Amino acid sequence: MLRIVALVLFALLTLPAQALEQFCAAPAASSESDVRRILSERIDREHRGVGIVVGVITPQGRRVISHGVFAQGDSRPLNGDTLFEIASVGKVFTALALADMVQRGEVALDDPVAKYLPPGVTMPERGGRTITLRDLATHMSGLPRMPTNFAPGDPSNPYADYTLEQLYAFLSGYTLTRDIGNQYAYSNLGYGLLGNVLARRAGVDYETLVTSRISKPLGLNSTAITLPPNLKARLAKGHNELLQPVPNWDDTTMAGAGSLLSSVNDLLTFVAAQLAEPDSALGSAMAAMRAVRRPTGTPNLDIALGWHILTQGGREFVWHNGGTGGYSSFAGFCPQTGVGVVVLANSEIGVDDIAVHVVDPNRPLDKPLPQGQSRTTDPYSFEGFVGRYRLAANSVVTVSREGSHLFLEEAGEPRVEAFAQSRESGTFKVADGQIRFETDAFGRVTGLILRRQGRDFSATRIE
C-alpha cells in the first residue's frame, strides 16, 4: 500500500503565460459531451480513477457531469451531491475566515500570530521580525511545510494522532531557517496553525468557525468535517494511486490546512459567490482576500489570501488544488469572464489537467503511462537515485531507499515518500510537487529537478 505522510499531493498546475490570454479570453468551456468522453476515457480505458465529478459555471448557468462509482465494489453512480475530501482547497475557506474576521475588526492581517497563542507557547522569530497572520495566509512565514515532530503512527491516516500539544512544542522549539515574509514556501503547517489561532480568537473550534462564518451564510449544506448520517451516506470512498480503497483522514490539530469534505454543488456555489462579489454574502471579504498579493517567484503568479492568481493580459485565473491519500480536488475561476470549474475525484490521482482543459479546451490533457508500465518501480532500480543533492548554498536534499520505498528529505523538513510516475523519465511525485532525476550520457544520476508551484529548483548530486 502506498503511504502518504503529507496533507497535499500538490500536482502542479503549470500554465504558460502565452496561453493564458486564450485561457480566460471568453466565457466558454468544454462541451458536456467532451467532458463525458474525457471522464469515460480516464476511468474506463486508462484506469486512472474510480469516479470523477466535474462542475462548470458560466454566465449561462451551471452544469455537473459525472462518471464512475462510489467505490470499487459499490456501483452507485456519483453526482453533484456526492461528498469527497477536498484537501487543500479547504485552505481557501481558512483564508476566507481570516478575511471575514478582519472585516469584522476581530483581527488584523499584521497581527503577530503570538498574540493568539496560549501563555507559555512562543513563536519563532528571525531578524527582528515576528510571524503575522498575513505571513501564514500567504505561505511566507518561513515555517517548514510540516512540523519536524510530525511522525504518524498510522501512515494511512497520518494526522489522526498529531496533537495540539505537539504543535505548540514544535513552535516553541523551532529555529527559522529563512527570513519571514521574504520567500513563498507552501506550508501545510502554516495553514494548520492559522486555522487554530482564528478558531481560538473566535472562541470556537475550527469546524464551528467555518460552519458559522462561511457555510451557513453561503448555504453550503454539504460542507463539513464531522459528517452526520445523512452526509456520511453520500461520501464516496477514497482510493490510492493503484485504485485500492484507503481510509479517510481524521484531523483536528491541522484542520485549517484542509480537512473539509464537500460536494461539487457546494463548491460551485462557493465559486459562484466569488464571481458575484461584492454582491454575494461575504462579498467584501472575498474581494479583500484577492486584493492581498505577494509574489511567488514564478512570473505572473501571485499568492493572495489562500488563492493562487495567475495574471496575463489583464486577465486572471484564480485557483487552488489539493489531494489526500484517497481524493483529489480542484477549484478555479476567471473573474473577467465569469467561468469557473470544480473537479472532485475519489482517488489520489490528480485532476488538474481535466479542470484546466474544461475551462480551455485547447489545453492538452496529461498522457497516461505507457501500456503495461506500472506506477511503481522495481525497488532495486531506486538504488541509482540514492544520495545527497545540493539544492542551494545551505540546503541539501537527501534521497534514501527502504525496500520498495524511496524517500526525500530536506534539511529542517520531515521525510516524505516519493512515488514513481515514469520509469523511463525518472519522474516521481512527492507531497507538494514532482522530482525528475537527471542523468549523463552513461545513465548515471547527476542531479535532480524539484518542481513546486510551477517553479523548478535544480540540485546537483554531491554524494
pLDDT tens figures, 367-382:
775 543 434 434 445 7
Overall average pLDDT of the 382-403 stretch: 81
Higher pLDDT, 370 or 447: 447
- CA atoms of 452 and 434, how far apart (whole Å): 7
Overall average pLDDT of the 410-427 stretch: 68
Overall average pLDDT of the 378-404 stretch: 75
Domain chopping of the chain, boundaries: 1-368, 379-461
Q: Is CATH 3.30.70.600 the classification given to domain 379-461? A: no
Please provide the CATH number assigned to the domain covering 1-368. 3.40.710.10
* pLDDT reported for residue 386: 87
Q: Is 60 exceeded by the pLDDT of residue 442?
A: no
Look up residue 204 and give its amino acid: V
Query: Contact at 8 Å (CB) between 61 and 352?
Result: no
- CA atoms of 12 and 22, how far apart (whole Å): 20
Query: Contact at 8 Å (CB) between 113 and 172?
Result: no
* pLDDT reported for residue 13: 37
pTM (global) more than 0.75: yes
* pLDDT reported for residue 395: 81
* pLDDT reported for residue 277: 78
Report pLDDT digits (tens) over 234-269.
999 999 878 999 999 999 999 999 999 999 999 999
Using alpha carbons, list the distances in angstroms from residue 191 to 89, 276, 312, 400: 12, 26, 28, 29
Q: Is 80 exceeded by the pLDDT of residue 394?
A: no
Report pLDDT digits (tens) over 55-91.
999 999 999 999 999 999 999 999 999 999 999 999 9
* pLDDT reported for residue 314: 83
Instruction: State how far Cα 160 lies from the chain centre.
Output: 19
Overall average pLDDT of the 306-335 stretch: 92
Q: Is 80 exceeded by the pLDDT of residue 458?
A: yes
* pLDDT reported for residue 421: 61
- CA atoms of 356 and 19, how far apart (whole Å): 11
